[in-house]
Structure 1
Amino acid sequence: MRPSTDSLPLTLRHALARAECVILDFDGPICRLFAGLAAPGIAAELQLLAEKHGQALPELEGNPDPLAVLRGYAWALGPCALVDEQRELLDTREVEAAQGAEPTPGAAEFMKLWHETGRPLAIASNNCAPAIRSYLLRESLSGLVEEPLIVGRYQDVARMKPDPASLLQVLDTAGVAPEHGLMIGDALTDLQAARAVGATFVGYHRKPSKRGLLAEAGADFVVDGVEELAAAVSENGPLP
């Protein structure tokens, strides 16, 4: 059952009403990308590549997050053959993972309702664009996000969030000033990118501990379900 808009914080409803463009992170707010393919195993593959190149970084050993591993090598080594190979391997694994990704409850409904408002919906993600497109096609959501407003991982891995490049790109393409954008993300890197451009940030996470981190870091709003956001743009419409 969809939550009643009356139970939502008034300020959150107003933030959505004022937003001229919503920017979604992909893995988390839209789906659990690695629901069917273990992320720690992919992170270990990236580390193994580094070992084969003789460039393994001990501080990244055992890190279960493949994005964090890739970002760590990019920041430490800069552009190089190893980072290119790691990125290409992660691209492949993410496209595979998209076939078994688990939809986030309420995400499709929110995306459809937002699309009906006539305001742009964008995706700015550290995951690769082919994986995003594959998932949207699988779930019949492709028509909700215009192709230029899907920005995935850059070839220059150092431009991954928290670098705000992807947010600035979608906002520029949509013709929306940064302060009129609203980003929904589940990671501190999403929050940092939104802060860098001056966009409103809504933190989402299923885990209370992660929501706490987002709140402590200064998220404008924190929710435990995308259903709350769907309710705020339901058939009654957002507040003026």
Structure 2
Amino acid sequence: MSNGVIFDLDGTLVDTNYLHVVTWWEAFRRRGHDILMMDIHGAIGRADRALIEYLLPSADDEEAQALTDAHAELYKPRLGEVRPVPGAGELLHRLARAGLQVVVGTSAHKDDAERLIGVAGAQDAVTAIVHAQDVERSKPDPEPVRQALDKAGLAPGDAVFVGDSVWDALAARGAGVECVGVRTGGIDTASLTDAGARVVYKDCAELLDHLDQSPIARLLTG
């Protein structure tokens, strides 16, 4: 088996987390639910239905679908405003040139995931994508990470996961994959470390600058 790095997308490679917070907040308000932005931010990284269940356990299927539709209506028109986080494309290309599998494992839907990978400037570096439609359970369940491993033909010990949320770190830990955290999703170092991240960087650019001292270094020489 080869070595590889699995990346989360929203908040890790592209600067979307707070856009999700605002559009989910407005979606909840449209449906008569007053949810604090602070709580919504803490739930970002879960797939749509899992996020709703976490924030509004009383929502039935009809209400959950209405909320999902409202969020999509508010979020999609603003995709053109999304920018990559510093160093995202450069990091993925550096890993691909080194012969590593570069995989994206995201809670985003397929069309959004492909578009956002394009925003990051990394289409030609990514070898596989696992998106929301590929899994039954979202992070923090380890299923998305395990699916990413299977899709790329990676063993847990031959991969590192890079993510920005507590849910990313918990999912990676559950799948037996070492996790590197980045703070571009707005989550602090202590929270990411407590959830299982071995080391935390400000962003992809800082990770790239310290690549040879990071957990990914062992994959480059393995």
**TM-score bin (small chain):** 0.7 to 0.9
Q: Quick one: percent identity of the two aligned structures? A: 21
Structure 1 stretches of 5 or more lacking a match?
Answer: 1-18
Work out whether 1:126 is the aligned partner of 2:113.
no
Partner residue of 2:13 out of 30, 43, 62: 30
- Show the counterpart of 2:76: 95
- Show the counterpart of 1:188: 166
Q: Secondary structure at the match of 2:86?
A: coil
Distance 1:139 1:166 in 2: 21
- Show the counterpart of 2:98: 117
Distance 1:135 1:78 in 2: 29
Partner residue of 1:200 out of 178, 188, 198: 178
Distance 1:225 1:177 in 2: 26
Q: Name the aligned partner's letter for residue 170 of structure 1.
A: A
Q: Name the aligned partner's letter for residue 129 of structure 2.
A: I
Larger Cα-atom Rg: 1
Distance 2:59 2:156 in 1: 29
Equivalences for residues 44-55 of structure 1 within 5 A? 44-48=25-29, 50-51=31-32
Partner residue of 1:167 out of 133, 137, 145: 145
**CA 1:124/1:207 → structure 2, altered by over 3 Å: closer, same or farther?**
closer
Q: Secondary structure at the match of 1:193?
A: helix
- Show the counterpart of 1:229: 207
1:161-184 deviations in Å (ceiling 9; x for gaps): 101221111111111112322110
Shift, 1:188, TM fit: 0.5
TM-score by length of 1: 0.73
Work out whether 1:71 is the aligned partner of 2:71.
no
Q: CA RMSD in A?
A: 3.3
Q: Name the aligned partner's letter for residue 71 of structure 1.
A: A
Partner residue of 1:41 out of 7, 10, 22: 22
- Show the counterpart of 2:3: 20
**CA 1:40/1:190 → structure 2, altered by over 3 Å: closer, same or farther?**
closer
Shift, 1:78, TM fit: 7.6
**CA 1:134/1:152 → structure 2, altered by over 3 Å: closer, same or farther?**
same
Q: Secondary structure at the match of 1:220?
A: strand
Structure 2 stretches of 5 or more lacking a match?
Answer: 213-218
**Count of equivalent residues:** 210
Distance 1:78 1:198 in 2: 33
